[in-house]
Amino acid sequence: MTDTQPDTAPLLRVHNLTAGYGPAQALFGVSLDVPARSAVAVLGPNGAGKSTLARALSGLIPTTGGSVEFAGRTITGASATAIRRAGLVHLPEGRGIFPGLTVQENLRLALSVDKIDPAEAFDRAFGFFPALAERRKQTAGTLSGGEQQMLSLSRALMVNPRLVIADEMSLGLAPMLVDAVFDGLRAALDAGVAVIMIEQFAAKAIAFADHCLILQRGAVAWSGSSARAGGELLHRYLGAAGAGVSG
């Protein structure tokens, strides 16, 4: 990693990024800026490349072109561990927790690659979600779906990240629990963490986010302020269901 950017640069700057799976290219020149302490909603139909973008940014799959700068450093080609240590934490689709382990054990495991004081990290996790502190000895698999998402989010927030990429956290949750997920991400945002949110509930995501990026077939179809991402635009790119009228 090399230092390149002055303080005024966005926290994350993605330029002309390409990535894929072996010979199958899935991202075609994606560019995106994420200012510090801001939220960006990444929307798009199934297979548009949203999760691939998240994986490429967090170093889970190699990029094949373009550049990624994070917190003033070029992280293009850096390992997932190095990117996480730099403060970019990815919450993959699915909760990524170990159902047979307790809340506490799940949190401890999340710290395995981080050079961070565990006591401080636990305080931070339970500060965001006090209900988890009461359940620290409970097996994660016996938590409700919403509590499992809180655990998943606290595993990301406990390492004091500068940016969290949340991939479809509300997938499969009842509406009330979807609200709880958004509340959790709002708390992170209020604490100064930038958020990239990949969401099926487009209307909710846009209400939450400052900026919106719509992907289509691996490329940016539209990007701009969430205030400009109205119903007609969403309908055009996402269709009636994807516009998230129900969300």
Ligand X SMILES: Nc1ncnc2c1ncn2[C@@H]1O[C@H](COP(=O)(O)OP(=O)(O)OP(=O)(O)O)[C@@H](O)[C@H]1O
What is the contact surface with ligand X in residues (CB under 6 A)? 21, 24, 26, 44, 46-52
Integer Cα distance of 55 and 189 in angstroms: 21
| Nearest alpha carbon to residue 91 among 172, 197, 167, 34 | 167
Q: State how far Cα 183 lies from the chain centre.
A: 14
Q: Which is nearer to ligand X, 221 or 233 (CB)?
A: 221
Q: Least distance to ligand X from the beta carbon of 174, Å?
A: 20
Residue 165 CB, nearest distance to ligand X (Å)?
12
CA dihedral 207→52→37→220, nearest 10 degrees, is -60
Toward ligand X, which CB reaches closer, 52 or 76?
52
Dihedrals φ, ψ of 64, to 5°?
-110, -5
- In the complex, the smallest distance separating the C-beta of residue 8 from ligand X, rounded to whole angstroms, is 31
Instruction: Give pairs for 145-150: CB < 8 Å, separation 24+.
Output: 145/172, 145/173, 145/174, 145/177, 146/173, 146/174, 146/176, 146/177, 146/180, 146/181, 148/95, 148/97, 149/95, 149/173, 149/177, 149/180, 149/181, 149/184, 150/180, 150/184
Which of residues 36 and 219 has its CB atom nearest to ligand X in the complex? 219
Nearer to ligand X, 49 or 135 (CB): 49
Taking the CB of residue 2, how many other CB atoms lie within 10 A of it? 9
Which distant-in-sequence residues (6+ apart) come within 8 Å of 233 by Cβ? 214, 222
Using the minimum distance from each CB to ligand X, give the nearer residue, 4 or 21.
Answer: 21
The distance of closest approach from Cβ of residue 83 to ligand X in the complex, given in angstroms and rounded to an integer, is: 18
Q: How far is the CB of 50 from ligand X (least distance, A)?
A: 3
The C-alpha angle 37, 39, 43, rounded to 5 degrees, equals 160
Q: What is the smallest separation between the CB atom of 31 and ligand X, expressed in angstroms?
A: 17
| Beta carbon nearer to ligand X, 49 or 128 | 49
